[in-house]
Structure 1
Amino acid sequence: LNGEGEVVGGVVIQRFGENALEVIQNVKKKLESLKAGLPEGVEIIPVYDRSGLIERAVDNLKEKLIEEVLAVSVICVLFLLHLRSALVAIVVIPLSVLMAFIIMNLQGLNANIMSLGGIAIAIGALIDGAIVMIENAHKHLARDRGKKDHWQIIYEAATEVGPALFFSLLIMTTAFLPVFALQAQEGRLFTPLAFTWTYSLMAAALLSITLVPVLMGYFIRGRILPERFNPLNLLFTWFFKPLIWLALRMKLAVIFVALALTAATWIPLERLGSEFMPPLNEGDVLYMPSTLPGISITKAKELLQQTDKIIKTFPEVHQVFGKIGRAETATDTAPLSMLETTITMKPESEWREGMTPKKLIEEMDAALKIPGVTNVWTMPIKNRIDMLSTGIKTPVGIKIAGNDLYVLEKLGKEVETLLKNVPGTMSVFSERVVGGNYFDFEINREEASRYGLTVGDIQDVIQTAIGGMNVSTVIQGLERYPINVRYPSGLRDDWDELQRVLIPTPGGEHIPMAQVAKISIKKGPPVIKTENARLNAWVYIDLKDIDIGTYVENARRVLDEKLTLPAGYSLIWSGQYEYMERAKERLKLVVPLTLVIIFVLLYLNFQRLAETTIVMLSLPLALIGGVWVLYYLQYELSVAVAVGFIALAGVAAEIGVLILVYCNQVFENRWANGEIQNNGDVLKAVFDGTSSRIRPIMMTVISTIAGLIPIMIGSGTGSEVMKRIAAPMVGGMVSATLLNLIVLPALYAIVLQFRFSWMAQKLVAKNALKGVPSEEKELIEA
């Protein structure tokens, strides 16, 4: 402990499915109660406690949730400038979250970074349905107030947009199906987020078509400021109206520019690296260096104490607890050549000015450049998950499989040498699978028989005198301790002394070991590892200033060119790279299936193929902003980023649905009234349908972005993952809004012009048949 000397350590293992924070709190209470019975001079010091991390992460998410609710509420008030109308939208947020919490409780889902994160990224989208309904009610009241009953106006406003809104929220929920399909570690990590996102959006969809219309009837009364006097609406109308007008007159050029922008997104996309997950700053550090096998216990203890003492000298370090070797338990299979030092850090407010976790690790790594020791720096929870999943403690590992341990060690050393010079390699260490030192007693049977000794007799002496043998058990109350007998260390820790170990013969003489056996030190496997019934040698690779995907690509190229594998031997990339590839392959299957389901839902809403296709074509427009924001923030592609893009798909589809619904409403009404006479009237209908509904579209977009901004600018525990989810959503929402308000009207205008020509021809033909006898009409139609 702190490099000061040896202590007795212990671990508490939590049962599967239990609440970690609750278990830790109960353990603390139990330890407190045990202090009274401890002998004098004995104290219990916690050396690692993850409750602080859990509480910091949950508190950070709770804080972000409050900030998001306030931000979204302010947006509603500013856009509507009618407090009671804004209240109708705002009340959806706590009710949706409450309903999600109720389902979480019934399901047994705990409040953690991911489960609260799902609600956090959904906050802005929860009120989309309510916003659109309220805004539509404002329009209907401005047009029909005094002409129709108040509740009739509210009913018509709600039924006009209700079905489209319900389908939009359903699509946003469906978009998360790929997250539910993730497997293993990534599945366990993101499934809680997918559940809470789904629960909260389903609750919002239900409230939008049930409670919201009722509240609108009661609260949306009195004087409502006309839309044309709202400063925000005037600003957005002033900005977008000329662009929409220009787009409708240059439809093909706009479509071409949209295609060019989408194609240009390939430039930043190619430059993005890839990783499994962004590193979560746990607040504590785990130092796990490896030495060559064969290190003695004495030297191992000395090395551990030296490294711990050096680490404790850093002012940012609160406590250092080192461990080497293993206990007799299946929960810890660490060899003597692997050190584990848990470094508990002080709060960052007490660190030196300008110090960051990355800089601190670099300084500690430079201070611990010890010959024969390969450093690895990670974090406690991350390391446990990695080693339980693949056994690899570094971000990237290589598993070489074959039949001969000596060949495997040779290949491992070759890989280690080749990868040392690959850019981004911080350290690389190949296990010495036959690097263990063993005393080999080669018994001379002829000499043994002269003294009347058997091989078994000599081996019994070797076991009892050198290895030790349990001869009895001491019983102290309920405790049992074995009595182990062997020579004192002075008679067995020297080569010459071993040769002088005495063996009793049947004749009563005692002869030295050297008379009947030749002693030598031979190399052998300290640990034998197998996977899929094949012997393994593992190579650990720690990285610096490079993403996993790029590094593996470069390293694989080097090994392909310079490493020759014998027949029957194979090489597998493991560690976080293994998770990343598994998640990527899974998403390749599930994402296309999800897009097909979204297409079907859109078709059920529109009942037309053209409108459905246009909305689906709008999804790539959202990718533009998402990819460029990732490139600007220098984020790597990861599972967290993929989750952000999945959420973006549903939100972007909602924008497309709203634009087409509004355009189609105006076109259908004017066609029914006979106001569509030519293609110019079609363009005017599309222009009016889009420009008159800029406010609800911008409200839904800005409220969603406002709900994500606190996450984007946050820096608390857990923010590393949440930022990667929010970044593509924010960037994608901006590009989807800007381009959809310009490109979609242009596309839809082309579709409506074709539809108008077809309907007009059909109408002309129908009018031409008026007055024609029925028999002739049937003949003409035939």
Structure 2
Amino acid sequence: MMNSSGISASLLSLGAVDFGIVVDSAVVMVENIMRRYKNATPAEKQKGIVRFTYDCATEVGTEVLFAILIIILAYLPIFSFERIEGRLFKPMAFTLSFAIFGALLFTMTVVPVLMSFFYRRYFESKNPGPIEWHNPVYEWVERKYEKIVHYLVDRSKKVVMIAFTGVTGLLIVGACLGTEFLPSLDEGGFTLRLYFPVGISLPEAKKFVPKIRGMIYKNEQVNMILSQYGRNDDGTDPLPPNRLEIYVGLKDYKNWNEKITKEQLLIRMRNDLEEGLPGVKVSFSQPIMDNLSEAIMGTIADLAVFVSGQDLKEMRHISQQILDIVSKMKGASEYGIEQEGPAPQLVIRLKRAVAARYGINISDIQNVIEAAVGMEPISYLYEGPMDTPPKERALFGIAVRFAKDYRQSAREIANIPIISPKGERIPLSELAEITQEDSPTMIFRQDGKRTITVRLNVRGRDQGGFVAELQEKVKKEVKIPEGFEVRYGGQYENLARVGKQLAIVIPVTIGIIFGLLFMLYRNLKSVIVALSCIPLSLLGGIYALLGRGYYFNVSAGVGFISLFGIATMAGILFVSKANHLRHDDIMMSVREASILSAVSQLRPRLMTMLLALLGLIPATMASGVGSDVQRPLATVMVGGLASALFLVLTVMPSLYILVMGSKEDVKSKGSSKSLSGDYASIYPEPEYSFISDDEEYQAPTEKSKKKLKSNKDKKLKRIFSFLGFTVG
């Protein structure tokens, strides 16, 4: 499926795929069949292992199907990602969805067949012996857990109140987490930018390149250097004369003899360059992210403040005020105004009245100035044999202008002679006013508006908090005249855009999950209990971010999104088991069903959660190139799964008792309304629902039980037929 979707096997598609999650459905299926084999009665063994295994598989088939659908559906917000975040996280979401769907097909079809094949001898033997290895550790854990559950359910209100008070408190703390678009990426090498004083010429800037390369090469970690100043060969990336870009390639970290991190190496290089080149500003960044950011947002900075208007002088004044504010803020680094400032220019204003008295045309004066100071072609030269057609010969222009000594200053230019119609030699100074003025060297436009950009990077602080503080200070300290606009872009623009998008998509996704759970249970209370796993898992995710000092970014958000489906699976297994127990024994109380469900589901919940958790631990500790994007995601999921494992095992039984109440009874199977349309031929009807005390309960007869069993078998056969398999 990856091949047909055009997704290649790479760090982006496989880097954070948790293969523990992939096997969760098979674990639930195998555990249920094993437990049923172990407790099979002689009457059940009479059915034969094929039929009995089929019955065991159908007991959890519906729950597994809905749980996997919800896990895949939880990735809907990731599927909606665009631009940079889509490139980074969509491959992982699609790959994991493909793997989970394949595992679902394997679980629903192949796993029951393999179980019946491997355990046929045990099932048919009169003295089969133990079906599984004796595990004293798990048996001890199970006994202790049962005692703990009894203790906790006797104090259900206190347990639930303490748990959700803690969740609420930490969610409030989590709302104060710093925010950023993406963590700082490590692409191996890095891009070094040097900003010389405005007005420096290209030949003068070129003189510094060998010195700069030598200062960089003295670090033994450097593998290669590629420098660029001015315009590149294809003309697509013109740089101003005062800007020098250098790509620095590094050796593999394993081959570094000196024990130093990349961050420490960059700090050392910055200090060396700033000491060796006074007045030069130094900036470091990553080449791939730079190209993406510049192509999409027009800037490579973490934050760009765009000042738009018509008056360049006023725009420059506003930009300078904002730059002064930025320079005093904590966390601001590598700040400056993107566009070059005004540079001295020679301005020649012709005196039309004086020129008219001499009878000289304005165009004649302009032609002389152009030829003397600039360059004017007077003829053309063809290169090649004379018998070759002109179109096939090289053409060169022949241009003339004054010698350098006669045009290198305003005084020499003022003495340029202009010949009048009468043959008089009149100096240019009599026909024009020649002054030296500061004028803009370049005018940058965005969306058709003149724009000046204040660029900066944020170091040691979250982008969201920095921008919020900057916006408040600009609003108070900078007066923005009418007709001018200040807006904030760069990486922060992506952060704001993704935040607005997720604010819509995540509630929609949770609503769809709610609808699927209601289709499964046809009971609002059961849905609420199953969904309560989501806030319980968020608790650990937030704590993990705080513990590792990470900000909330898109990668961490993807981790929280992934938790929705995985945590809901644990709730589905618990609630479904408790409801099945109450259905099978109508006299069983809610308390008893909750305890029995918690104890009987201990093994599958431990296995599914621990497999998913352990599968992500390597990603949390990864330190190679490209691992920066995956670490926050894996950290959130490990913390969330750990808290979900603990809180679901301890809080869920008490919550089930409080929500379901102690006076409800379970109605017989098949009593609820059936699904309509095409879905009725694919999904089975719910096996249970709830009635209130004022309704009369009618116990199911043997005839009705057989009929319901037959209907269920037919519907499950439809599911397998829909998937392309045949059941006898």
Other-structure match for 1:339: 244
What is the match of residue 448 of structure 2?
Answer: 533
- Give the corresponding residue for 1:127: 23
Query: 5 Å matches for 1:465-480?
Result: 465-469=372-376, 472=380
User: Structure 1 residue 412 and structure 2 residue 285: aligned?
Assistant: no
Q: Is the 8 A contact 1:602 1:612 kept in 2?
A: yes
- Cα 1:202–1:491 shift into 2, 3 Å: farther
Q: Which runs of 5+ in 2 are unaligned?
A: 123-128, 385-390, 667-689, 700-728
Question: Could you give the per-residue CA deviations for residues 371-390 of structure 1, whole angstroms, max 9, x where no partner exists?
Answer: 44332211111111111121
Query: 1:544: how far off?
Result: 2.3
Partner of 2:599: 691
| Residues 664, 693 of structure 2: 8 Å contact kept | no
Match of 1:105 in 2: 3
2:625 corresponds in structure 1 to 717
- The CA deviation at 1:738 is 0.9
How far does residue 409 in structure 1 lie from its aligned partner after superposition?
0.4
1:250 paired with 2:155, answer yes
620, 630, 644: which one aligns with 2:559: 644
Per-residue deviation at 1:583? 0.4
Instruction: Say what the alpha-carbon RMSD is for the aligned residues.
Output: 2.7
- Residue number among 249, 259, 263 corresponding to 1:358 in the alignment: 263
CA contact (8 A) 1:435 1:525 kept: yes
Structural mapping, 1:9-24, within 5 Å? none
C-alpha distance in 2 between matches for 1:325 and 1:427:
21
Structure 1 residue 598: Cα displacement: 0.5
Deviation at 1:161, TM superposition (A): 0.2
Spell out the pairing of 1:296-695 with structure 2 (5 A cutoff). 296-327=201-232, 331-351=236-256, 353-369=258-274, 370-431=277-338, 435-449=342-356, 452-469=359-376, 472=380, 483=397, 485-487=399-401, 489-503=404-418, 512-671=427-586, 675-676=587-588, 679=589, 682-695=590-603
Deviates more, 1:248-257 or 1:686-695: 686-695
Deviates more, 1:495-504 or 1:538-547: 495-504
Preserved CA contact (<8 Å) 1:409 1:431 = no
Q: Shift in Å at residue 225 of structure 1?
A: 4.8
> Which residue number corresponds to residue 664 of structure 2?
755
Cα distance change of structure 1 residues 259 and 479 upon mapping to structure 2, 3 Å threshold: farther
> C-alpha distance in 2, partners of 1:234/1:463?
97
- Out of 196, 207, 212, which is 2:95 matched to? 196
Find the aligned partners of 1:484 and 1:424 in 2 and give their Cα distance: 56
- Asked if the contact 1:624/1:732 (under 8 Å) is kept, the reply is yes
Q: What whole-Å deviation, never above 9, does each CA across 1:120-151 have from its counterpart, x for those lacking one?
A: 42411111111111111111111227443111
Shift of 1:327: 4.2
Aligned partner of 1:702 in structure 2 is: 610
Q: Structure 2 CA distance, aligned partners of 1:114 and 1:133?
A: 31
Structure 2 equivalent of residue 144 of structure 1: 40
- Matched ranges for 1:729-748 at <5 A: 729-748=637-656
* Aligned with 1:262 (options 162, 167, 170): 167
User: Cα 1:227–1:684, aligned 2, differ >3 Å: closer, same or farther?
Assistant: farther
User: Does the 8 Å contact 1:308/1:321 carry over to 2?
Assistant: no
Q: How big is the shift at 1:228?
A: 8.3
**Aligned residue identity for 1:167:** F
**2:527 & 2:392 partners in 1: Cα distance?**
74
Give the SS at the match of 1:619. helix
Question: Is the alpha carbon distance of 1:128 and 1:252 closer, same or farther for their aligned partners in structure 2, counting shifts above 3 Å?
Answer: same
Alignment of 1:288-299 (within 5 A): 288-299=193-204
Structure 1 window deviating more from structure 2 (645-654 vs 186-195): it is 186-195
- When residues 322 and 382 of structure 1 are mapped into structure 2, their CA distance, relative to the original with a 3 A threshold, is same
Scaled by the length of structure 1, the TM-score of the pair is: 0.79
Q: Where do residues 19-38 of structure 1 align in structure 2 (5 Å cutoff)? A: none
Contact 2:231 2:239 (8 Å CA) reproduced: yes
| 1:613/1:368 CA distance change after superposition, 3 Å | same
Aligned residue type for 2:298: G
User: Shift of residue 644 of structure 1?
Assistant: 0.6
Change (3 A) 1:511 1:348: farther
CA contact (8 A) 1:122 1:201 kept: no
Normalized against structure 2, the TM-score is what? 0.84
Cα offsets for 1:318-351 (capped at 9, x unmatched): 2222222224756214322322111122222343
SS of residue matched to 1:753: coil
Partners of 1:239 and 1:464 in 2: how far apart? 98
Relative to structure 1, the CA distance from residue 537 to residue 742 in structure 2 (aligned partners, 3 Å threshold; closer, same or farther) is same
Q: Residues 293 and 615 of structure 1: is their aligned pair in 2 closer, same or farther, counting only changes over 3 Å?
A: same
1:116 aligns with 2:14: yes
Deviation digits for residues 367-411 of structure 1 (CA, Å, limit 9, x no counterpart)? 222444332211111111111121222211100112210000011
Deviation at 1:503, TM superposition (A): 4.8
Going from structure 1 to structure 2, the CA distance change for 1:462 and 1:718 (only over 3 Å counts) comes to same
Quote the Cα distance in structure 1 between the aligned partners of 2:136 and 2:120: 21
Query: What SS does the aligned partner of 2:17 have?
Result: helix
Q: Partner of 1:322: helix, strand, or coil?
A: strand
Contact 1:409/1:433, CA 8 A, preserved across alignment: no
Secondary structure at 1:288's aligned position in 2? strand
Alignment match, 1:35: none
User: CA shift at 1:262, angstroms?
Assistant: 0.4
- How far off is 1:508 after superposition? 6.1
Shift of 1:515: 4.5
Q: Is the 8 A contact 1:640 1:725 kept in 2?
A: yes
* Conservation of the 8 A alpha-carbon contact between 1:287 and 1:377: yes
Supply the distance in 2 between the matched residues of 1:325 and 1:489 (Cα, whole angstroms): 24
Instruction: Flag the 1:442–1:765 CA change in 2: closer, same or farther, 3 A.
Output: closer
Q: Deviations over 1:137-192 (max 9, x none)?
A: 11111122744311112101110001100110100000011112223332333222
The answer to whether the Cα contact below 8 Å between 1:170 and 1:205 also exists between their aligned partners in 2 is no
Gaps spanning 5+ residues in structure 1: where? 1-102, 768-782
